[in-house]
Amino acid sequence: MNNTSVFDNNNEISWCPGCGNFNILKALKKAFLDLSLKPKDIYLISGIGQAAKLPHFINTNGFNSLHGRALPVAFGAHCTNPNLNIFAITGDGDGYGEGGNHFIHGIRKNFNIVHMVHNNQIYGLTKGQASPTTLFNQRTTLQLNGVKQEPLNPIALAISLNCSFVARSFSGDTEHLISVIKEAYNHKGYSLIDILQPCVSFNKVNTYKWYNDRIYYLNDTYDPYNKIKAFETSQKFGDEGIPLGIIYKSSKSTYLDRFPYKKEILNINNREIDYSTIFSKY
């Protein structure tokens, strides 16, 4: 492979012109190319929403689950075939709202996937009502007097649960997003990438300019293994600045590391297996 065309397909892309999802799709293809991944070895699993349409527009294995249910499907696929390179693709509503419980327990399991959340701070597919990450008092197509709930902070939540890899990127900076995707892929364990992704049709507050005026990049002096500092960093959002980069990393065992007999069963190709000989060792 020497260009991303191997990941192209003929499906018409149905996102609105200017949608931040286009750059996420572009970045994902380039990251796959840089990582020397082949379409047959990649499994993209999504829920429901504009972000969840992404597997339709790329030449890899793909699966659309129910709303909020990408992570349990990804978990099942990983346990069945850990050799697959699994990416869960969700939106902020899909991943943090309907799928919020799976998000929490996916972190606890620490199974080896990359979870990419297209965070446009709105429900785009259903025409603009507030999502879990919509800002306080922001008016939407449904919350005409403004949102009266505080927004969920997914970065802080993930760090508090000791998620093994927590990062934030921006769809307006494709090169940064590519680098973060590659870092997440090379990390062993559950890797969360929260991607700021403007919705040009329904979110007139969190625009490309709004983000560009506030984002900044964590530099080489920043230590992502310092949990206290990472949690402090996670509190920054909005006019005080929005940090981008790898915010937190933790080295810990993965789900299959904790159940060695499962790994051994999965590594045996012969279907005539005497499982009692495997279980007796543990």
pLDDT score at 268:
52
Interaxial angle between packed helices 174-186 and 21-34, expressed in degrees from 0 to 180 and rounded to the nearest 10: 50
Low-confidence ranges of the chain (pLDDT < 50): 269-280, 282
d(CA 189, CA 254): 6
pLDDT score at 143:
83
pLDDT score at 278:
42
Q: Can you read off the two tokens belonging to residue 239?
A: 């006019």
pLDDT score at 233:
98
Q: What is the tens place of the pLDDT at every residue in 149-172?
A: 999 999 999 999 999 999 999 999
pLDDT score at 273:
47
Interaxial angle between packed helices 100-109 and 70-80, expressed in degrees from 0 to 180 and rounded to the nearest 10: 30
Q: What is the tens place of the pLDDT at every residue in 141-150?
A: 888 888 899 9
pLDDT score at 276:
47
33-41 contacts at long range (C-beta below 8 A, 24 or more positions apart): 33/1, 33/3, 33/4, 33/6, 33/7, 34/178, 34/182, 35/182, 35/185, 36/1, 37/85, 38/1, 38/6, 39/6, 39/7, 41/83, 41/84, 41/85
61-64 β-sheet, strand order:
61-64, 42-46, 85-91, 114-119, 191-196, 165-170, 242-249, 215-217
pLDDT score at 227:
97
* Arch. (CATH architecture) of 4-251: 3-Layer(aba) Sandwich (3.40)
Q: Check residue 250 and give left, alpha or beta (phi > 0: left; psi -120 to 50: alpha).
A: beta
Q: List every span in the chain annotated with CATH 3.40.50.970.
A: 4-251
- Asked if residues 67 and 48 have their Cβ atoms less than 8 Å apart, the reply is yes
d(CA 230, CA 209): 26
Q: Smallest Cα–Cα separation from 95: which of 174, 87, 60, 41?
A: 87
